[in-house]
């Protein structure tokens, strides 16, 4: 039985819609594959870079300082009236800005010479959120195999989609299968491996794979493809994955694939701790089914002799674990290559916190807020009462001991961010505001109401990353800041001045509050260096949000007013045909949201796959604040023929990308799965 840990089974997290405008950022993420013709720095649509560059940095107190006196129970919103960073934007609107735009363009060109993360300021493109588990094809769950991913990437290229955003690829916790409460922040989930690709490598018999799939389906396994069957997939694929790993390990050192495994293991020294933790949690008496802080003291406290004995006793399982991690990287590397060939960059997602019962915490106790005697969390993560919960959200992950991270030069974080750079072109940091100030809750608390705001590391964090990567001769990987929620000036300055990362806007959050145009999620408030979403994996689908009534009558009316859409016409004496009575908003809310996002001035526009499918809330990926209930289980239907059935949708999206300047040159000549023209 899996350990019952708050860090693993806590309800899904959510972020409160922002209520304060952010200062315009000055730098952005690494480039997509090729430039589009429309520049995010065009004078008619972008705030002044010179003005945003002059935004002062708001100094923070040392990490760990309680901020209740400054923040109150919740961080203060910007005062009404003029919003942060608005002066430069209004100046651009109210005056002849040609010279200002040219000066900004020159400034950016000069900065590009010293910081590659500025390059995408010259690119505009579109993206999709779709986790590999939701891909159609294999029984029970999608995988990262060639036969599963390539048709999807072909569809993206044909649809003018140049970015694919995935959820964390880590092994999820096994109570509710949330990838945001993973058991290891550096590892990939072996159950995502393609069994057929392993057979192509000679590590499995294709007949054995097909036979196992047929037998599983005959026994009712796989759930008919409508939903992800996490537990069933793990049980079905585990024996075959073990056999593939053993086949690889049995090869001589001179074998090319075995030699590649040995080289990968030497280059990823962290895998030793991950493998041993997995072995102890899976096989060791006194450890199975328990949180690591409840393990026997000699293993809990990592006594050298005990670790050496355990490593020897579990050598076979540890080697198998390592081989599967290598094979995961190998298959994911093929995915990366296929995406690059089609002009698609991959955006990953990094939760700011890691699971308590994880190799990350067990192997690095000094870097977390833990009980010094037992290692159990002493303070845990969450957020105060907000729009999603009257008692706040208690996430339960252990908090960081930031002074200890500073003392080691943020080496642990540099390794984590560097690993993300191996897997993704760009990485989104979830709950970015926690780096400026975070909500700390006593580990024994039943709710998050009694927590307090505590200062995070602030600029010190990014200074440390810069030094670590500079010492390694590498740039800091490109980042996106998930800056949703009530964003205070210190958070905004941290994003623009230190992280040099774009923030986010979510169209579903645009319609609340007063109708004075001040909501930062409204399209006219978007910024060039920003990522706009119709919704995220935590939102209802656009169609579901409107149909269910999540968008109330006042919000629907505000949308009509804002977009200039006519109200539905009532039938009079049966004379008005149905075609004339159609409501242009309620009949296709997903289409309206996608068109608004693609038409935004934001450099990157992204929608969940569900919005392209115009799916209702039956396709929702996650409902924040809940545990279970089908979270993380949505999957596309249609099997292997799903993408051919969506050819019309691809054509529609491609035309929209072309009309809004989001069609990147590498995809201009794409002619579907036949290759390039």
Chain-centroid distance, C-alpha 477 = 15
DSSP 174-190: TTT--TTS-S-SS---G
In the block, tokens 């480039």 appear at 31
C-beta of residue 147 within 8 angstroms of C-beta of residue 335 = no
Calpha distance 366→372 (Å, rounded): 9
C-beta of residue 143 within 8 angstroms of C-beta of residue 622 = no
Identify the active-site residue in 184, 430, 527, 611. 430
Which residues have CB under 8 Å from 171's CB, separation 6+?
182, 183, 184, 187, 188, 189, 190, 191
430 is an active site residue: yes
Calpha distance 416→468 (Å, rounded): 12
Calpha distance 454→442 (Å, rounded): 13
Calpha distance 553→557 (Å, rounded): 6
Q: Which of 633, 620, 632, 618 is nearest to 180 (CA)?
A: 632
Identify the active-site residue in 482, 490, 527, 611. 482
Calpha distance 388→449 (Å, rounded): 13
Calpha distance 319→39 (Å, rounded): 50
183 HSE (CA, 13 A, CB side)? 25
Alpha helices in 98-205 (DSSP H): 98-112, 146-159, 195-200
Which residues have CB under 8 Å from 491's CB, separation 6+?
75, 432, 433, 436, 437, 483
Alpha helices in 62-128 (DSSP H): 68-71, 86-94, 98-112
Identify the active-site residue in 78, 213, 538, 540. 538
Per DSSP, what are the bridge partners of residue 634? Answer: 227
* Angle in degrees, CA 216, 220, 221, rounded to 5: 50
End-to-end Cα distance, the chain: 55
538 is an active site residue: yes
C-beta of residue 396 within 8 angstroms of C-beta of residue 10 = yes
Calpha distance 83→70 (Å, rounded): 20
Calpha distance 89→475 (Å, rounded): 31
Query: Using only C-alpha atoms, what is the Rg of the chain?
Result: 25
Q: Which of 31, 79, 55 is nearest to 491 (CA)?
A: 55
Calpha distance 285→297 (Å, rounded): 13
The encoded tokens of residue 671 equal 């002619």
- Please give the positions annotated as active site: 430, 482, 538
């Amino acid at each position: 039985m899996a350990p019952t840990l708050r860090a693993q089974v806590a309800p899904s997290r959510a972020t409160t819609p922002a209520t304060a405008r952010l200062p315009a950022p000055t730098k952005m993420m690494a480039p997509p594959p090729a430039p589009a013709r429309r520049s995010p720095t065009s004078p008619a649509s972008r705030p002044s870079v010179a003005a945003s560059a002059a935004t002062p940095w708001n100094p923070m107190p040392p990490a760990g300082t309680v901020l209740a006196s400054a923040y109150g129970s919740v961080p203060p919103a910007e005062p009404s009236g003029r919003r942060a960073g608005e002066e430069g934007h209004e100046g651009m609107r109210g005056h002849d800005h040609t010279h200002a735009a040219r000066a900004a363009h020159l400034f950016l060109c000069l900065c590009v010479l010293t910081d590659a993360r500025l390059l995408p300021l010259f690119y505009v493109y579109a993206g999709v959120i779709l986790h590999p588990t939701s891909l159609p094809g294999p029984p029970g769950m999608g995988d990262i195999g060639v036969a599963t991913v390539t048709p999807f990437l072909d569809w993206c290229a044909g649809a003018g989609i140049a970015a694919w955003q995935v959820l964390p690829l880590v092994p999820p916790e096994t109570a509710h299968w949330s990838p945001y409460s993973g058991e290891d922040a550096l590892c990939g989930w072996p159950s995502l491996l393609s069994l057929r690709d392993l057979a192509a490598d000679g590590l499995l018999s294709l007949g054995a794979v097909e036979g196992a799939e047929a037998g599983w389906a005959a026994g009712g396994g796989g759930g008919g493809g409508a939903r992800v069957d996490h537990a069933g997939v793990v049980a079905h694929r585990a024996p075959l994955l073990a056999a593939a790993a053993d086949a690889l390990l049995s090869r001589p050192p001179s074998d090319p694939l075995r030699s590649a495994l040995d080289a990968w293991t030497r280059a990823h020294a962290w895998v030793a701790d991950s493998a041993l933790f997995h072995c102890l949690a899976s096989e060791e008496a006194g450890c199975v089914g328990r949180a690591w802080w409840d393990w026997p003291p000699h293993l809990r406290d990592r006594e050298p002799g005990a670790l050496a004995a355990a490593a020897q006793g579990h050598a076979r399982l540890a080697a198998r674990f390592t081989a599967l991690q290598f094979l995961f990287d190998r298959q994911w590397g093929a995915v990366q290559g296929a995406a690059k060939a089609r002009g698609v960059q991959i955006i990953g997602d990094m939760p700011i916190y890691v699971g308590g019962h994880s190799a990350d915490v067990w192997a690095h106790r000094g870097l977390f807020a833990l009980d010094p005697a037992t290692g159990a969390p002493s303070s845990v993560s969450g957020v105060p009462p907000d729009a999603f919960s009257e008692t706040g959200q208690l996430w339960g992950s252990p908090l960081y001991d930031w002074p200890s991270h500073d003392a080691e030069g943020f080496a642990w974080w540099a390794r984590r961010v560097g690993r993300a750079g191996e897997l993704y072109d760009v990485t989104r940091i979830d709950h970015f505001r926690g780096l400026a100030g975070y909500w700390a809750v006593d580990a024994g608390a039943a709710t998050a109401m009694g927590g307090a705001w505590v200062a995070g590391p602030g600029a010190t964090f990014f200074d440390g990353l810069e030094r670590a990567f500079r010492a390694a001769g590498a740039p800091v990987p490109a980042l996106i800041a998930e800056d949703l929620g009530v964003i205070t000036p210190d958070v905004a300055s941290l994003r623009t001045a230190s992280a040099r990362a774009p923030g986010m806007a979510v169209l579903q959050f645009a319609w609340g509050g007063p109708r004075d145009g001040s909501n930062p999620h409204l399209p006219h408030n978007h910024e060039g260096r920003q990522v706009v979403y119709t919704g995220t994996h935590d939102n209802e689908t656009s169609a579901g949000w409107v149909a269910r009534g999540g968008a109330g009558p006042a919000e629907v009316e505000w949308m009509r007013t804002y977009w200039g859409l006519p109200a539905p016409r009532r039938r009079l004496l049966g004379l008005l045909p149905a075609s004339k009575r159609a409501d242009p908003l309620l009949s296709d809310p997903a289409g309206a949201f996608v068109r608004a996002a693609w038409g935004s001035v934001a450099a990157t526009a992204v929608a969940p796959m569900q919005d392209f499918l115009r799916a209702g809330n039956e396709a929702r990926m996650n409902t924040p604040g809940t545990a279970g209930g089908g979270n993380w289980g949505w999957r596309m239907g249609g099997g292997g023929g799903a993408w051919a059935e969506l050819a019309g949708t691809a054509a529609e999206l491609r035309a929209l990308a072309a009309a809004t300047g989001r069609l990147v040159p590498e995809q201009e000549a794409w002619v579907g799965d036949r290759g390039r023209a």
